[in-house]
Amino acid sequence: MRDEDEVERDGGYRSRFRAVTEDQRLVCRWRPDGTLTFVSDAYCRYFGLSVEQLIGRSLLTFVAEADRDRVREHMASLSVANPVEAIEYQITAASGELRWMIRVDSARPDDAGAVSEVESVARDITDRQRMKAELDERTALLQAFFESAVEGIIAVNRDGAIVLANARAEAMFGYGPGELLKQPLDVLVPDRMKDLHRRHVTAYFEKPRARPMGLGMSLAGCRKDGSEFPIEVSLSFVPYAQGGLAIAFHSDISERVLQERQARHLEKLTALGSLAAGIAHEINNPLGIILSRIELMLMDAADRDAADEVVEDLRTLQRQAQRLNRITEALLKYGRRRPPDPQPVDLTAVVNDTLLLARYELSRDGIEVSTSFAPDLPRVLGDSTALQQVFMNLLLNARDAMPGGGRLRVDVTWAPNQPGSIRLEVADTGCGMTGDVLAKIAQPFFTTKSHGTGLGLSVSYTIIREHGGTVDVASEPGRGTMFGITLPGLPA
CA distance 364 to 285: 38
Instruction: Judge whether 440 and 460 are in contact, CB under 8 Å.
Output: no
Averaged pLDDT for residues 1-23: 48
**Arithmetic mean of pLDDT, 352-360:** 85
Q: How far is the C-alpha of 452 from the C-alpha of 456, rounded, in Å?
A: 9
Roughly what angle, to the nearest 10 degrees, separates helices 308-335 and 254-303? 150
pLDDT at 23: 54
In whole angstroms, give the CA distance from residue 358 to residue 360: 6
Residue 9 has pLDDT above 70, yes or no: no
Of 466, 355, 460, the residue nearest 411 (C-alpha): 355
Listing DSSP states for 284-352 in one string gives HHHHHHHHHHHHHHHHHHHHTT--HHHHHHHHHHHHHHHHHHHHHHHHHHHH--PPP--EEE-HHHHHH
Question: For residue 70, what pLDDT is reported?
Answer: 93
Which candidate, 358, 356, 367, 360, places its Cα nearest to that of 429? 367
Q: What is the pLDDT of residue 277?
A: 63
Of the candidates 173, 141, 170, 169, the residue with the CA atom closest to the CA atom of residue 153: 169
Strand duo 380-382 + 367-373: pairing = unpaired
Give exposure, 407-416, as e/b (b: 16+ Cβ within 10 Å).
Answer: ebbbbbebbe
- Residue 473: CB partners within 8 Å, gap ≥ 6? 438, 441, 481, 482, 483, 484
- Tell me the CA distances in angstroms from 66 to 47, 71, 176, 378, 443, one per residue in order: 19, 10, 39, 58, 74
For residue 102, give the nearest of 120, 123, 80 by alpha carbon: 123
Q: Summarize the confidence of residues 338-362 as an average pLDDT.
A: 83
The Cα–Cα gap between 286 and 299 comes to 20
Q: How does residue 2 score in pLDDT terms, banded at 50, 70 and 90?
A: very low
Where is average pLDDT lowest: 22-26, 358-362, 470-474? 22-26
Q: Go through the domains of the chain in sequence order and give each one's CATH number.
A: 4-130 (3.30.450.20), 149-252 (3.30.450.20), 257-335 (1.10.287), 343-488 (3.30.565.10)
Q: Does residue 225 sit in helix, strand or coil? A: coil
Instruction: For residues 335 and 401, give the distance between their C-alpha atoms in angstroms, rounded to a whole number.
Output: 27
In the chain, what percentage of residues exceed pLDDT 70?
82
Provide, rounded to the nearest whole percent, the portion of the chain with pLDDT above 90. Answer: 26
Look at residues 340, 337, 324, 338 and name the one whose alpha carbon lies nearest to residue 279: 324
Supply the pTM of this predicted model. 0.45
| Type of residue numbered 144 | A
Q: Are 401 and 484 in contact (CB under 8 A)?
A: no
Cα dihedral 317, 320, 321, 326 in deg (nearest 10)? 160
pLDDT in tens, 236-287: 888 876 678 888 888 888 877 777 776 676 666 666 666 666 666 667 778 7
- Cα separation of 423 and 484, whole Å? 7
> How far does CA 50 lie from the centroid of its chain?
65
Q: What is the mean pLDDT of the chain?
A: 82
- Residue 217 pLDDT class (50, 70, 90 cuts): low
Lowest pLDDT segment from 51-55, 202-206, 343-347 = 202-206
Beta partners for residue 373, in sequence order: 412
Buried b (16+ CB within 10 A) or exposed e, 293-323: ebeebbeebeeeeeeeeeeeebeebbeebee
> Coil, helix or strand for 8?
helix
- Taking 80 as the threshold, does the pLDDT of residue 408 lie above it? yes
Q: Nearest-CA neighbor of 317 among 284, 295, 286?
A: 295
Distance CA 245, CA 160 (A): 9
In tens, the pLDDT along 174-197 reads: 999 989 999 998 889 888 888 888
Tell me the average pLDDT across 432-442.
72
pLDDT confidence band for 305 (50 / 70 / 90): confident
Q: What is the DSSP string of 18-60?
A: HHHHHTT-EEEEE-TT-BEEEE-HHHHHHHT--HHHHTTSBGG
Residue-wise pLDDT tens digits, 32-52 = 999 999 999 999 988 889 999
Q: CA-CA distance, 371 to 347, in Å (whole number)? A: 13
Which amino acid makes up residue 273? Answer: G
What does 189-201 look like in DSSP terms, one character per residue? Answer: S-GGGHHHHHHHH
